[in-house]
Structure formats: C-alpha cells, structure tokens
Chains A and B, each alone.
Chain A
C-alpha cells in the first residue's frame, strides 16, 4: 500500500472573478521509504501540492489517500490530528519559535499529542531527536544563538519527534549555503535509509533534487515527468564536509 496516493487531484483558487487552476489533475503513488523530489518553475503548483499532501489544505476535486485513508474531506481538527501523528514539516524559513530553546521548539508537536504526554516524556523525546541531529550540546540554546544549518537541524528534529511516516520539506535548503545544504540533504537521506521514513522534498534546484530516489517535474499544475533517480551521495561532493565542521 502506498504511503501517498493522489487520484486526479485538482485545486482551484477563486479570486473574485478570476479562477486559478493551481493543480489540474495530478495522479501519483508514493511508496514507503521513497525520497521524492518535486521540481518545477515558480507558480507551477508545487506548494499547493505540498499543502494538500501536508493536510494543511483540501483538494477541490479528486482524492488523497494517506496510508490508505481518504483524507480529502476530513474536518479541520481531524486534519490537525493527522498532521500531528503522521506528518513532519520542514520549512524554508525554519519557523522556529524565537526566544525559545531548541528543546522546547522540538517539543511543540508533542504538546498536541493525544493522549497528552507527560512533560518528562516530552522532554526526553525532544532531547533524543536533537541527539539524532547531532545537537545535544545545543539543546538549550535559542534559535538566535544557532547557525542556519543548526536551526534547520532543530527544525528537522521537530519534524521527526512525533515519529511521522512522512516528512514534507518545502525548499528546506533555500536559506542555506551550499555546504550546509549538502549536510541537510545527507541527514534526510540518512533518515530515509535508517528509519524508512518517506520524504517528499520540494525544490527548484536540480542539484538538490538529485539527492532523491525519484524526481517529479511539475508545470502548470500537471506532472510533466516522473522518473526514478540514483541518488547523489554526499561523498560525491567535492565540497562535502564532515558533520562536526558544519556550523
């Protein structure tokens, strides 16, 4: 059973008299453990697709089956619960809470778990996720005290902390320099390989898309190509740096 199954998915935005067909019939299956990179020019519908995949929005038409369940017509709160349990987000702008420690940032998804987790368990799981991202010694730093790469690693820890089946990353390297971007990609690859987490990555950079096991190109709201890919390895990179050197 595919983790994600999109069936003729359409999204129409109505702006007064104008209608924008952001997605015009997208069908697609993504299996567990795939690392899918979605590419396409600006305005092609990548983010719209990501919002629907992330249960932040509902399609105008068509069906979205997440782990076999149709989530196209669920209520706001039901979607919130699915986001909480099954999806981890990594954003371009990190979206960490300012003046809040890394550990507390990572705990955020755990605050909304049902049933409620005790504070001690929330903290333990946050620290574990930070450790997996190599940030144990930064757990009680505020975002302003962390570098861009460290902030994005905190954000990935936050996406992972509730053990989701799917990680959605919208331009996660958009704000990072090349070396740090490569390091983040290496972390995502490792997650896929070691934890069998399915990853959907949106990027307009072919270099970044090359880390995926499958590359999907979209244009004007439809898929124009969908190919498997031999993922680029970090070791292939001339400028690859060991983790410790990534600031």
Chain B
C-alpha cells in the first residue's frame, strides 16, 4: 500500500488539477472549517494564557477596604460620580476584621497623604503611607536594606521605596539612619523596601499611628489585607462588608449588579468600599477589552476575585470556542459532503478508467485506495489553505479584541489531522463504490 503511495498521489494531484475550479469549490467547506478550528484553538489558548498570566503574577489576593463610597449623580440615574469622604473607618474596624473574619493572611491599617518631605537639603513631593508591619506580608516585600517597621512600637521610623531612597539620598549615601521630615515629625530611616507593586518604589512608609497623630485624625483611609487562600477573596470581602455594616449601623439590603455594595436603592449607602485586586486591575485597565466585555455582566464587580474573573474569562472563551466549534463542525461536515459528492461525480466520470484498471489487475483495494487518497489529498490541501487562513484570522481577531492568540504546532497538526480525517471519512463511501464496480459494466460505459 505504501509502495503505491507516490503513484496514487500523482494520480490524485493530476485528477484534482484537471478541474481546478471544481476542486477549489469543493475544498471551501474544509478551508472554512479548518480555519475556524484554528482560530478557535488560538483564541481559546490565548485567553487562557492571558488570564493565567494575570492570576499568576498577582500571586495573592489583596482586598482593599476604603473609607467612603461612590456617590451617584442622582438617584434615578445611578451613575457613579466619585468617592465621598468619610471618617467612619477606624482602627477598631481593623481589629474587628482581624478578630472576626477568618482566612486573612495579613492586614494593615492605612493612612495616606501626599506632601513634601525633606531630608537635609533634599526635598521631594511624594506619597506618605501610614502602615503597620503586616504590609510587608501583604505585598511579599523583601527588605533590600535594613528592616521593616515595628508595629508594636509605633516609633517615628520610616521605610522607603527604592526610587525614593535614590531620589532623596543619591546612590552614594546609605539611607539607613538618615532622618526625614514630614510635616511636624522627623522619622529615622530603618529600611528600604524592594516593593514594586502599585507605586511602592516611590512611597515613604511610616507607622500609621504616628501619621494619624501628625495629621490630627482619628480615622483610617484604608485597610489593606491579603487572603490566605487565593480563592477566598470573595467570601472575605463579603464577610468584611457585613461586619462593617453592622459596626457602622448600616441597614438595608444592597442591590445586585454593578452598584452592589454601594447600598440598595432606598437603603442607606455604605460608608466604605470593599474592593478586590481583580476589580482594581480591571479599573486600571490592565485587562483587555475582551475581559471587560466578559466581566460587564458580573454581579458584585467590586468583590470579584481573580479566580472568578479567570472563570468568567474562561467561560467567555468557552462560549467563543463553542461558537467557533459549531461553525467548524458544520463547515467540516458540509465540506465532507462536498468531497463525497465530487468524488462520486469523479468516479462516474471515470468508470471506464476504473474498469480498465480492474481488467489490468487492480484489486478492489487498489481502486479503493486510489480514490481514498484522492479524497484525502483534496481535504488535506483544503486543510493547508484553511491553516493559513486560520492563522491570519486568529491574528486579526486577536488583534481587534486585544486578546493574545497562540497557535501551537500541535494545534496546526490537529487541524491538518481533522482535515485528513474528513477526507478519509467522507471519501470512504465513494472509494468503496468505485471498488465494487463490476469491471465488465465499467468497461462498457461510455
């Protein structure tokens, strides 16, 4: 059988070449089918890879509790217009969360301001963040010099981000032990953080209690915490919401949907906001338009976790995959039927040739093989054209959706394999018909 492959291939190519337009039209179904399969695989794996990348790089699931809430442009409109100030988030809330909500790996109260800071003759306008030692665990900091702040002491000590250290002290001076003036207080530098998340490299970190005192405020601006297990962010966010509502005396059921967590229409709005990292990432535009589209209908957007987001994106790409799979399936079947049809036509046209080959000693299997190879050649050439088309379309769709696409060699092999099987499956009936022809009858046909 394999020894005859070159001969059969030559015969197949010659026969297909003889009716080029017919061959092309017949291949169309396969071309579209294979292109769809390839696009499908490319988008599917691309989406998955991008989500996995996000989830992987985020590492932990960080949850933010912020004082204040979004206010609306008007009751009827419900457009989010900004976050109102609130002074109701206090250290007691942080303690209560720590004590009352399970699954928290680390937590840090937060106070923040933007101001001028000075050290000797150096001055800088930057963010000053009041935190406690838990902050290092939340963001998995390593200290590139010195040590972390000591929560218990709440001493006038400071930790700097790497960029800020360079700005204030230059490359030659050791920042450790230097004094930094913020408003009315002086802080001694005890460490330099390697933190790169958000803008940590440019921030001056001091104990939150000290900063509160310096600002003369009793409330916190934020509470930042990290969930122990990545998948628990959503549950923790909702526990915190319930706990804080209770502590702040907020009643009423929040409505579902995008504005959930801002308090239901008619209810008292929350005076705090609980956000997860995923929602933050989304609002920062780290996600692609495709992701935004996928997330648009997610309830409780603020509380969504990266896992849920990954799930949703997965589902979105599954939907896309299912759609493309049905296109692929239908075109492959239509293409297959086209191949079957054209092979039957070809066999009718070449009945005499078949009779002659049989008279010359071709066995049934030889005749079947000849036409099977012709069908498979037809579908494989269609598959190759579809492959090229699929690569182009995957690239175009990926580019217009902002959705990364990857096509592995395996996927290409799969596409060609599918094309070949279509030829094999739909070519086998015509091939068998040819093989079963009666040589005498076949020789008699005109």
Residues of A within 8 A of B (CB): 51, 54, 56-57, 76-77, 80-81, 83-85, 89, 91, 95, 97, 99, 108-109, 111-113, 116, 119, 158, 162
User: What residues on B are CB-neighbors of A85 within 8 Å?
Assistant: 361
Additional pairs, 14, CB under 8 Å, beyond known A112-B360, A116-B4:
A56-B439, A76-B363, A77-B364, A80-B366, A84-B362, A89-B360, A95-B355, A99-B14, A108-B356, A108-B360, A111-B4, A112-B363, A113-B361, A162-B361
With A56-B440, A57-B440 already in contact, the answer to whether A80 and B3 are too (CB < 8 A) is no
Q: Is the CB of B443 within 8 A of A91?
A: yes
| Cα distance A124–B18 in the bound complex, in angstroms | 27
| Cα distance A112–B18 in the bound complex, in angstroms | 24
User: What residues on A are CB-neighbors of B54 within 8 Å?
Assistant: none
Say how far B320's CB is from chain A's closest CB, in angstroms: 47
| Cα distance A42–B141 in the bound complex, in angstroms | 104
| Cα distance A158–B357 in the bound complex, in angstroms | 11
B345 CB–A CB distance under 8 Å: no
Count, chain B residues at interface, CB 8 A:
23
| Cα distance A91–B358 in the bound complex, in angstroms | 14
| Cα distance A83–B356 in the bound complex, in angstroms | 11
Q: Is the CB of A77 within 8 A of B363?
A: yes
- Partner among B6, B18, B355, B439 whose Cβ is within 8 Å of the Cβ of A119: B6
Residues of B within 8 A of A (CB): 3-4, 6-7, 14, 18, 352-353, 355-366, 439-440, 443
User: What residues on B are CB-neighbors of A162 within 8 Å?
Assistant: 361
Q: Is the CB of B358 within 8 A of A80?
A: yes
With A51-B440, A56-B440, A57-B440 already in contact, the answer to whether A84 and B360 are too (CB < 8 A) is yes
| Cα distance A86–B172 in the bound complex, in angstroms | 100
Q: Is the CB of B352 within 8 A of A95?
A: yes
With A97-B356, A119-B6 already in contact, the answer to whether A84 and B443 are too (CB < 8 A) is no
Nearest residue, chain A, Cβ from B370: A111
Say how far A155's CB is from chain B's closest CB, in angstroms: 10
Q: Is the CB of B443 within 8 A of A95?
A: yes
| Cα distance A119–B359 in the bound complex, in angstroms | 21
- Please provide the 10 A-B residue pairs with the shortest distance between their CB atoms, ordered closest to farther: A84-B361, A116-B3, A112-B361, A109-B360, A77-B363, A80-B363, A83-B361, A95-B356, A112-B362, A108-B360
Say how far A129's CB is from chain B's closest CB, in angstroms: 13
User: What residues on A are CB-neighbors of B6 within 8 Å?
Assistant: 119
